[in-house]
Amino acid sequence: MRRLLLAFALLLFAATPALADHRPLNAPLDRPLNAVVAAYEAWALADDPITAGHEGDRAALSRLPAVTPAADAARKRALEGFRARLAAIKPAGLTPEVRLNRDFLAWTLDRRLNSLAFDEARLPFNSDGGFDQDLNYVASTTNLDSEADARAWIARLSALPAYFADNVANAHRGVAGRFTQPRATTEAVIERVRHALAIPVAEDPLLKPFATLPPGVPAERRAALGAEAEALVGGRIRPAQQAFLDFLQADYLPASRTALGIRSVAGGEAYYRWLVADHTTTSLTPDQVHALGVAEVKRIRAEMDAAIAATGFKGDMAAFVAMLRKDPRFYATSRQDLLEKASEIDKRIDDKLPRYFATLPRLTFGVRPVPAEIEDNYTTGRYFEGAPKQGIAGGYMVNTSHLDQRPLYELPALTLHESVPGHHLQVALGQELQGVPSFRRNADVTAFTEGWGLYAEQLGVEMGIYRDPYEQFGRLSYEMWRACRLVADTGIHWLGWDLAQARSCFTDNTALSPLNIEVELARYVGWPGQALAYKVGELRIMALRRKAEAALGPRFDLRKFHDAVLLAGPLPLDLLERRIDAFIAQGLAMEKH
């Protein structure tokens, strides 16, 4: 009944204030489309208990997603049914927000069906993450507010061994079809699983939620629930992890592909073309993306040279970077010192936000260290989204290991990207949208979300967050990092490059530490196409802003532009462009009146 009520509520789609449509909601021509969207919404939440739980479905908190071939076959039938229903509804006459739902749903259905057609379940892990870490991530953002919540979490833990077995079976199909990760990625995952098995059971990340049980749960019940979960981890989950490790060593490693690029697997050329289109949400070819990266590297390098000159340093970039790596003023003295410096930058940004954003999220965020169990092979920072309906704040995760590899001159750009006005602001605003279906609010549109994060780094210049040429250089080094991604990802997966060729863009043009470069390269090898989204998305958002500024002239309002970009949730780039065109048209119409 809860799900039916939710689906009914989602029929009331409201346009954002900046682009309001004054026709009645649920107009007659909208109703068939609204019915399809509501049906898809109910099905999608039933199919994805993790998202459903974040959306407030208490029953979903005890379940994990089904990942078997039979479940995928059922998904395919359902998705094809929704696509047929959607195709029968013509866009003419739909109110703008409902038209957006139609087009976004069409994109979502095509995307999911393509993923199933390529049988991506055969690659259930990479060096950056995978099924073996899925529930660890959920644990880090889970609060248990009652004994019922604890019992639901224990039920999820009970389901985890079968989840492992089903994913291992999918990877077995990858071995049979020679659709595998390269050897280096497999070796990294083996080390990750070994590390997980070495953690004492009582300190397992899966048990962390029990520390959040409130005092209202009697102490003896808290102890009993924790003991039950600990026994489950030690008695059933650790054997499942060991079975995964045994599979990796005995079966997967010998079958791992010898070439780095995904183009080398059966059907790999078509698959990478689709990955490029999917992650960038554009029609760019791999060759076009590579050329774009080469051009951006050249442009950004000139700006980096100017930033070096502004510091007064006499010497080339290699000498400048060598100096930066040796000077202790550019490094934190302790883990806590790094967290405190990130927090101070965040408060300086908070002080500026109202001048640049008309709408800010209610949800707060914290500055937290990356969990110790994953920090060694983890990126410099990341954002963990919160869950407003579960009372969970967002998290700006700072990697506090290897302090000599975490230069402070890069910290402002990282902070702008991962917290505000980057991922936290964008994600939290999306989560708080009213009348927008969850498949839009929770959509994984990397070109939008990561493009916005990189745009936020650029916005920091206008906001005055970078205080000296060193921090400007750090920002440019980060931007160069994303440009080199275009070069390296297409180089590895399309042009057949080895790691040395891919590494050279970073070593020759950025100040990234050697550790960060190696972590990043491992990520690109094991997760083809994803890294392309950042720069492509940022360039499109910047182009749309310039378009709006040119069209509206003195009437351009940056705060309203940011509302237009953010207050529909994450969008594929062509739909974002259509939304900004409507924003421009509305502004021009107001000018005429």
Q: Is the pLDDT of residue 11 over 60?
A: no
Residue 435 zone, left/alpha/beta (φ > 0; ψ -120 to 50; rest): left
Domain boundary among 538, 555, 574: 538
Are residues 84 and 145 located together in one domain of the fold? no
Domain boundary among 85, 100, 117: 117
Report the alpha-carbon distance of residue 570 to residue 281 in Å, rounded.
12
Higher pLDDT, 56 or 429: 429
330 falls in which pLDDT band (50, 70, 90)?
very high
Amino acid identity at 122: R
Task: Provide mean pLDDT across the span 156-169.
Answer: 98
Task: Flag whether 555 is in a domain.
Answer: no
Are residues 387 and 404 located together in one domain of the fold? yes
Task: Provide mean pLDDT across the span 12-27.
Answer: 42
Q: What is the pLDDT of residue 593?
A: 63
Report the alpha-carbon distance of residue 476 to residue 481 in Å, rounded.
8
Are residues 341 and 248 located together in one domain of the fold? no
Report the alpha-carbon distance of residue 426 to residue 448 in Å, rounded.
10
Q: Is the pLDDT of residue 170 over 60?
A: yes
Task: Flag whether 593 is in a domain.
Answer: no
Are residues 248 and 343 located together in one domain of the fold? no
Are residues 279 and 411 located together in one domain of the fold? yes
Q: Is the pLDDT of residue 542 over 60?
A: yes
Task: Flag whether 577 is in a domain.
Answer: no
Summarize pLDDT for 268-294 with one digit per residue, the tens: 999 999 999 999 999 999 999 999 999
| Among 3-7, 87-91, 125-129, 354-358, the least confident range | 3-7
- Please state at what angle helix 499-509 crosses helix 286-311, rounded to 10 degrees: 30
Q: What CA–CA distances, in Å, run from 508 to 450, 505, 589? A: 24, 5, 49
- Written as six digits, the tokens of 313 are 């340093």
- Written as six digits, the tokens of 482 are 């994303």
236 falls in which pLDDT band (50, 70, 90)?
very high
Task: Provide mean pLDDT across the span 454-478.
Answer: 97
**Residue entry with tokens 């079809």:** 177
Q: Is the pLDDT of residue 8 over 60?
A: no
Q: What is the pLDDT of residue 515?
A: 87
CA 400 to chain centre: 21
- Say if CB 132 and CB 125 are below 8 A apart: yes
Are residues 173 and 218 located together in one domain of the fold? yes
CB half-sphere exposure, 502, CA atoms < 13 A:
26
Are residues 98 and 131 located together in one domain of the fold? no
Amino acid identity at 250: A
**Residue entry with tokens 């045994």:** 246
Q: Is the pLDDT of residue 18 over 90?
A: no
> First vs last Cα of the chain: how many Å apart?
48
Are residues 463 and 413 located together in one domain of the fold? yes
Task: Flag whether 592 is in a domain.
Answer: no
Summarize pLDDT for 188-208 with one digit per residue, the tens: 999 999 999 999 999 999 999
- Say if CB 91 and CB 103 are below 8 A apart: yes
Are residues 173 and 99 located together in one domain of the fold? no
390 falls in which pLDDT band (50, 70, 90)?
confident
| Among 137-141, 250-254, 454-458, the least confident range | 137-141
Are residues 240 and 153 located together in one domain of the fold? yes
Domain that holds residue 171: 125-258
Peptide bond before residue 421 is cis, with ω within 30 degrees of 0: yes
* Collapsed DSSP state (helix, strand, coil) of residue 455: helix
Q: What is the pLDDT of residue 5?
A: 31
Amino acid identity at 446: T
Length of the chain: 593
Task: Flag whether 265 is in a domain.
Answer: no
Amino acid identity at 54: H
Q: Is the pLDDT of residue 373 over 70?
A: yes
- What lies within 8 Å, CB to CB, of 232 at 6+ separation is 154, 157, 158
CB half-sphere exposure, 246, CA atoms < 13 A:
8
Burial of 434 (0-12, 13-18, 19+ CB in 10 A): exposed
**Residue entry with tokens 């990207």:** 417
Task: Flag whether 322 is in a domain.
Answer: yes
Q: Is the pLDDT of residue 103 over 80?
A: yes
Global confidence as pTM? 0.90
Q: What angle do CA 471, 474, 477 make, to 5 degrees?
A: 155
The mean predicted confidence, pLDDT, of the chain is 93
Q: Give me the number of domains the chain comprises.
A: 3
Task: Flag whether 20 is in a domain.
Answer: yes
Are residues 50 and 99 located together in one domain of the fold? yes
Task: Flag whether 388 is in a domain.
Answer: yes
Eight-class DSSP state of 143: -
Report the alpha-carbon distance of residue 220 to residue 380 in Å, rounded.
40
Are residues 293 and 252 located together in one domain of the fold? no
Count of beta carbons in the 10 Å neighbourhood of residue 496: 13
Q: Which residues pair with 257 in a beta bridge?
A: 182
Domain boundary among 72, 90, 117: 117
